[in-house]
Amino acid sequence: MVKSALLLTLLVSKSLFFSDTHLSEGNSINGKLPSEANFWLMGDSIVYKSEELHIRQLSDHVYIHTSFLNTDSFGRVACNGMLIVNGNEAVIFDTPADNKSSEELIQYITGTLKTNVNALIPTHFHADCVGGLEAFNAHNIPAYASSQTIALLKSKGQKFTKPIKAFKETLTLPVGDKKVYAEYVGEGHTKDNVIGYFPDDKALFGGCLIKEVGAAKGNLEDANVAAWPGTVSKLKQKYPQAKIIVPGHGKPGGTELLDYTIHLFQ
């Protein structure tokens, strides 16, 4: 009976968590979520949707932007980034997949939300993190990346019209009267993958280091599979208070995404 009740509770909470407010393409919703709403109960709300870009609000300050990357090995892949908005300032983790969808994201933030973008933080050197970087350069939005990421981009012959600002292990940036953090925890999907954390909403952007529950291992071309579970275990220990976990691909959730990723690569 206890197991059955627990399963029912999980199923109900999951259906609420992943419920969408469906919109016609290109439309947006300007309404705000209740300030006291519980993340697990209110679900995620689509606030913008086009063929190239979806934006969902997960909590008072946290959004996911999802764009689509055409790949030879995996087809058309949905790619997540995280957006933090506080007051009239924003910080973005990872660009959308290309300049067109990146421009859509910038226009939504500056036009609909009436918010300035303080910074962009690519979490590793792959195209799903930097594919739209020139759109941000065109708007004079500074980009920050780990020194490892910058070195790997250079080694792959990637050139951009503006330099990326480097950090070593950690980065702290203001977003309104709050702070957002980027940190290198260890190797996994790539040797340079960093994570993002916004403590006020207990939101952690794992990027491609973290898998959605049920996902396969995915692209291992630049991975350190042996180090991967240890890196995620370290991440889980460092941020035990995290409630919102956003993977690089697929649905967000809670700490079960960390546990799933650890077991997947053990």
Report if residue 232 sits inside a domain.
yes
Asked whether residue 23 is assigned to any structural domain, the reply reads: no
Identify whether 208 is a catalytic site residue.
yes
The kind and range of the H/E element at 76 are: strand 75-86
| Residue 219: active-site member | yes
Taking only the tens place, the pLDDT of each residue in 36-95 is 223 333 345 899 999 999 999 999 999 999 999 988 888 899 999 999 999 999 999 999
Instruction: For residue 183, tell me if it sits in a domain.
Output: yes
169 Cβ partners below 8 Å, 6+ apart?
146, 183, 184
Residue with tokens 């609420």: 16
> Is 25 inside any structural domain?
no
Residues whose CB falls within 8 Å of the CB of residue 119, separated by 6 or more in sequence, listed in order: 91, 92, 141, 142, 143, 144, 173
128 is annotated as an active-site residue: yes
Cβ atoms within 10 Å, residue 218: 17
179 is a domain residue:
yes
In a domain? residue 259: yes
Secondary structure percentages of the chain, helix, strand, coil, to 5: 30, 30, 40
Total number of domains in the chain: 1
263 is catalytic: no
Task: Kindly name the residue from 189, 191, 192, 201 that is annotated as catalytic.
Answer: 189
Nearest to 207 by CA among 196, 220, 218: 196
**How far is 240 from 210, CA to CA, in rounded Å?**
15
What CATH number is attached to the domain comprising 97? 3.60.15.10
In this structure, is residue 203 part of a structural domain?
Answer: yes
**From 126, 191, 201, 236, the catalytic residue:** 126
Q: Which of 98, 128, 192, 201 is catalytic?
A: 128
Interacting residues of 266 by C-beta distance below 8 A, sequence separation 6+? 229
**Structural domain range at position 161:** 38-265
pLDDT of residue 48: 97
pTM for this prediction: 0.84
Summarize pLDDT for 143-181 with one digit per residue, the tens.
999 999 999 999 999 999 999 999 999 999 999 999 999
Q: Does 126 participate in catalysis according to the annotation?
A: yes
Which is catalytic among the residues 49, 61, 211, 236?
A: 211
Residues 121, 143 contacting (CB under 8 angstroms): yes
Q: Which of 61, 124, 191, 236 is catalytic?
A: 124
Span 95-144, pLDDT tens digits: 999 999 999 999 999 999 999 999 999 999 999 999 999 999 999 999 99
d(CA 144, CA 122): 7
3-state secondary structure of 138: helix
Residue 9 domain-assigned? no
Q: Spot the catalytic one: 79, 191, 208, 236.
A: 208
Q: Which of these is catalytic: 99, 162, 202, 219?
A: 219
